Amino acid sequence: MGVFVFLPLVLPLTVWPIARLAEQHLHPRTATVLLSAAAGVLAVCSTVCLVLLMVVGTAQLPGNPLPDGWSDEEVREAVPYDEVAGRAAIPALLAVVAACGRTLWVHHRVRRRAVRALTGARGRSVAVLPDGEPYAYALPAGRGRRGRVVVSTTMLSCLGGGERRVLFAHERAHLAGRHHRFLLAVHLAARANPFLRPLRTAVSYTTERWADEEAAEAVGSRRAVARAVGRAALVSRGTGPAAALARFAAAGPVPRRVAALLEPAPVVRSWPPVFTTAGLAAWTAAAGTTVSALSSANSAVTLFLVLKAATPL
Amino acid sequence: MDQERTGRPRARRRGQGELEVQVLSALRQAPGPVDTAWVRERLGGDLAYTTVITILTRLLAKDAVVREKAGRSFVWSPTADEAGLAALRMRRVLDGESDRQAVLASFVTSLPPGDERMLRELLERAEEPGE
């Protein structure tokens, strides 16, 4: 097995260039699904790898509840640098579990609090709130509750009639496509392995692009969507936590969204041909994910067999 | 929000949000500033006096009602309607949760200074005839 046992931990690095290529060259729907799936698989593989290392690490500790056979020479041979790696895996795995648990908890708390905040607000699918801040959000559907678009009066008053239609079409696309599930998946993946953070950023962008494209189809004009997104961004500038995070080199997501809308519509293909940039990105991502899955499956099976052999029955 | 940490049962917590709305709509139907007993009676009288006080105080903390001294007790009047209360509560959620991006997909994110110039240029292009 050798150093291959560590492969799933670092293979997420292969998706860094791919994330950027996919968000630029693939249809946003394809990119969202592909990148979220890749993030999910890579995160699971890297966690499986951590669990295996932790088993070996824990088995060495005196007074552990695991069978003594699990710290035998042959098991330890299966993992290189078993002393360091095994011990390091324990806090790493605990950190992963804690971070993922926190993310899930925050996710449910925000949803619960937002739903509770909206008690008494009229409108089944749209809640218009009198607020001096311009904002618009899509609140996902929950138990027995429809998804709702939450928008402030200030945001509506800054937009013309056509632009409001764009805004509602965009938010409804988020709700209909259940984009929050993709977002939650990549947020969890980024917690499981920090190397997957660029995928989280990429999917946050591609879900917005996806909703923009759906809105463009609904209102029948890409330029109208570009104008609405631009106008809304200009009125909400300087508010919110992201304002503090100035980007230096790369353009932020909003100008890129507007620029993409001013370009011709992206082509929907189920799978792009290999010899294009997009195809190369998709195929490399798929290959990286497969290798990661195979190597962690290989590690898991091998270690399982070794442990089984070492456990006296 | 505050009771979340004290760990009261879930059903009761959910009830509090609805009670706030009920108390506020009762106040909005009142002929003028009214005292706590009036609100309690208006809600059917099956709530404890202290519960009504608690809810009014919570509404006061959210700037949805104001109170003034009248004799030995307070009289209350609303400053917000139901939608206004929802807005105030939503604002607390938005301001209080820095980690909300995974749940609430925002229409736009805020713009760093460099992006604003770029965006204005793009919008000029979008205004050009050509579609």
Domains and CATH numbers, chain B: 2-106 (1.10.10.10)
Under an 8 A CB cutoff, do A233 and B111 touch? yes
Q: Supply the angle between the helices A82-117 and A179-192 in degrees, to the nearest 10.
A: 150
Does A256 touch chain B if contact means CB atoms closer than 8 Å?
no
Instruction: Compare CB distances from B109 to A119, A170, A253 and report the shortest one's residue.
Output: A253
Q: B71 CA to chain A: closest CA distance, Å?
A: 33
Chain B residues within 8 A of A236 when measuring between CB atoms: 108, 110-111
Under an 8 A CB cutoff, do B87 and A131 touch? yes
Report the run of H or E that residue A188 belongs to, with start and end.
helix A179-192
| Distance separating alpha carbons of residues A20 and A147, to the nearest angstrom | 30
pTM: 0.79
Does A281 touch chain B if contact means CB atoms closer than 8 Å?
no
| Distance separating alpha carbons of residues A112 and B24, to the nearest angstrom | 21
Does A110 touch chain B if contact means CB atoms closer than 8 Å?
yes
Q: For chain B, how big is the Rg over CA atoms in Å?
A: 22
Chain B residues within 8 A of A113 when measuring between CB atoms: 1, 92-93, 96-97
Confidence of residue A1 (pLDDT cuts 50, 70, 90): low
ipTM: 0.70
Does A313 score more than 70 pLDDT? no
Chain B residues within 8 A of A128 when measuring between CB atoms: 83
For A104-216, where are the E strands, in sequence order? 126-129, 136-139, 148-152
pLDDT in tens, B76-87: 988 888 888 888
Does B114 touch chain A if contact means CB atoms closer than 8 Å?
yes
| Distance separating alpha carbons of residues A178 and A207, to the nearest angstrom | 10
The structural domains of chain A, with segments of one domain joined by +, span 2-14+25-310
Mutate to test the interface with B, among A102, A129, A156 (most CBs of B within 10 A): A129
pLDDT in tens, A113-130: 888 888 877 777 898 988
Confidence of residue A271 (pLDDT cuts 50, 70, 90): low
pLDDT in tens, B54-110: 999 988 988 888 998 888 888 998 888 888 888 888 888 887 776 666 667 777 776
pLDDT average, residue stretch A266-290: 70
Q: A148 CA to chain B: closest CA distance, Å?
A: 11
Does A309 score more than 90 pLDDT? no
Chain A residues within 8 A of B96 when measuring between CB atoms: 113
Under an 8 A CB cutoff, do B101 and A118 touch? no
Residue A86, classed as helix, strand or coil, is helix
